Amino acid sequence: MAHHMGWRGRALAVLLALTVGCGGSPERTLNDCEYAETVRTAFQGFSHSLTAAGLQLSIAGPAATTEQRAAAARALDELDVELGRLLDDLRRLRIGGDLQPVNAALVATLEDMRRQLPALKQAAVAGDSERVDEVLERISRDAEVRLERLNREQPQVASRLEACR
């Protein structure tokens, strides 16, 4: 089980790290710190659902009961709902300048994750821990690649957003 938690923990850490670089009112363009605060706030429900789904996935292995696997499926459904809310919130943000590619990369990363949730749910319901790990590894790897690219392409934005903490 510890091996399985490694990828889950890593995926969770990568996705929660997204909240650091990510603030205001829909009527005007947000500045850096308003963008950062708005995104941090928007991530709260998603982060809670991500943690709950990770816990349920750690239980839903080959020896899990039908109810434990169903609980994992429900947790992933809730994660999907929260992810949809988060994506809607991010898409509605009014931002300008070099924050636009940052937000676009964040949205694209989360959309990719969302597209992989059905495969993750199917593996969890089947009790297929190996497949769960494969999907989580792919989610984690894809997010890391996007974030590393973003940091290379927009280092000044990352520094400004980090200063807003």
Dihedral, CA of residue 138, residue 139, residue 144 and residue 150, to nearest 10: 120
Model pLDDT for residues 48-93, shown as the tens digit of each residue: 999 999 999 998 888 999 999 999 999 999 999 999 999 999 999 9
Residues 6+ positions from 55 with CB-CB distance below 8 Å: 75
Token pair 């670089």: residue = 21
pLDDT tens profile 109-164: 999 999 999 999 999 999 999 999 999 999 999 999 998 898 898 889 988 988 99
Q: 3-class SS at 29?
A: coil
Q: What pLDDT, in 10s, does the model give residues 96-118?
A: 899 999 999 999 999 999 999 99
Full-prediction pTM beyond 0.85? Answer: no
Ramachandran angles phi, psi of 128, nearest 5° = -90, 85
Predicted pLDDT of residue 113: 94
pLDDT for the residue 21: 40
Cα 48 from Cα 143, distance rounded (Å): 19
| Banded pLDDT at 27 (limits 50, 70, 90) | low
pLDDT band at residue 14 under the 50/70/90 scheme: low
Q: Phi and psi for 104 in degrees, rounded to 5?
A: -60, -40
Start-to-end CA span in the chain (Å)? 35
